[in-house]
Amino acid sequence: MSYQEPDGTSQHPDPLHGRKLNVGIISPYSFETPGGVQFHIRDFAEELIKRGHRVAVLAPGRRTRDMPLWVTTNDSSFSIPYNGSVARLSYFGFVGPRTRRWVKQGHFDIVHLHEPETPSLSHKPLTMIHHPPFVGTFHAAFDPYPLALRFFQGYLRRYLSPLSAGICVSDAAKEVVNHYGPRNIEYDVIPNGINCRFFSNAEPKAAWQGTLERPTIGFLGRMGEARKGFSVFARAANDIVRRYPSARFLCAGTGEQDAMKILDKVDPSGDLAKHFEFLGRISDKDKARFYKSLDVYVAPQTGGESFGIVLVEAMAASCAVVSSDLKAFSAVAQSGKDAAMFANGDGHDCARQVLSLLDSTEHRKSIRESGFERSKHYDWPVVADRVLEVYARVLS
């Protein structure tokens, strides 16, 4: 593990000894509707570019105005339900030849494939006879382990054999890869990264801030997806307002209509819904301000999470965090040291943990400070150093 100086530089010796690389990165998912994997690729690429490396990214779908110039798209994608969400992939027709041609023409020192087990672009180069070293990053975690993956285990182990190294974003992701990944390569657990300074320097928004009598509790995510846990959050809120009748619940993300239906089920009288404010989809800047403005941030996800990126972001903004005890979340929070944790799916237990923070300024301060220190382990300069160590090992 490496650490940062206050000016953002890393104390870790350069694993490449000054060598500048030409890195190709392939995303399985479209950047048109960005998610966790796409943000990971974008931020890692920006960190490499800052260090003087050359980076090109290939992704499914079409270009949008806000895409960096170093992202190339193949103008082809389709939507498919995947791990409780909807993913935009690209697989059929000329996708394979075009992807392999992109790799060949790029003259890359190394090609980084994200989720190469997924039937999309990052799956395609593995059939090349002559190619640069391939490194694969595995993001997905499942509980229970999917029947489809169980069926294709043997095929995937053979198909993924050209990989020179594997990276898993968490121990939970590594447990999944152990089922189908090649057994002749080394797997490093390297988490997702964030820009700590971006979140720590954010200014709170006065309209979102609470008071001792009127605390503000936040939720961020797609409220229409069951695994994001909005129903758990709603049940917890129903308990919290009994202790804090003026409590506000700020909700950022899509699915307001789904959320209102859930609130109506939890409290048919409609009184609970009056405590909720829906912000819709917010920008990265407003997301940082959102965390900074809250008294407590709640991560009630019930499954399908391979890493707790929302926890780390909130921690970096010095926000007290309450989260479900998913394995990936528990790893980030060091089993409750850096966030208050509740039994997965238990709204009443979630409320108890939130109330324990609201009732004690000292407890809330302790969790905030501990979480902020924890977030530094996930700063991009630290995480990028570890990925470059994998690159150096492969290239040697």
Q: Which residue reads 């069951």 in tokens?
A: 226
Q: How far apart are CA 138 and CA 118, in angstroms?
A: 10
Domain match, 221 and 321 both: yes
Give the per-residue pLDDT at 176.
Answer: 92
Q: How far apart are CA 14 and CA 3, in angstroms?
A: 13
Give the per-residue pLDDT at 186.
Answer: 93
Domain match, 121 and 89 both: yes
The answer to whether position 54 is within a domain reads: yes
Q: How far apart are CA 14 and CA 384, in angstroms?
A: 11
Give the per-residue pLDDT at 83.
Answer: 59
Amino acid of residue 324: S
Domain match, 149 and 271 both: no
The answer to whether position 126 is within a domain reads: yes
Domain match, 70 and 133 both: yes
Cβ atoms of 20 and 396 closer than 8 Å: no
pLDDT < 70 positions in the chain:
1-12, 82-85
Residue 396: CB atoms within 10 A of its CB come to 6
Tokens of 320: 């007290």
Range of the domain at 71: 22-193+379-395
3-state SS assignment for residue 218? strand
Cβ-Cβ contacts under 8 Å for 383 (sequence gap 6 or more): 44, 190, 191, 192, 193
Domain match, 317 and 223 both: yes
Domain match, 286 and 362 both: yes
Give the per-residue pLDDT at 85.
Answer: 67
Give the per-residue pLDDT at 8.
Answer: 42
Q: Answer positive or negative: Cα dihedral of 354, 288, 72, 186.
A: negative
Q: What is the CATH number of the domain that holds 305?
A: 3.40.50.2000
Domain match, 184 and 201 both: no
Order of strands across the sheet that contains 248-252: 276-280, 248-252, 216-220, 296-299, 320-324, 340-342
Amino acid of residue 250: L
Report residue 121: phi and psi, to 5°: -55, -45
The answer to whether position 129 is within a domain reads: yes
Share of residues in the chain with pLDDT > 70 (%): 96
Report the number of distinct structural domains present in the chain.
Answer: 2
Encode pLDDT of 247-295 as tens digits: 999 999 999 999 999 999 999 999 999 999 999 999 999 999 999 999 9
Tokens of 94: 């000329």
Q: How far apart are CA 130 and CA 111, in angstroms?
A: 13
Tokens of 363: 């407890």
Q: How far apart are CA 90 and CA 30, in angstroms?
A: 8
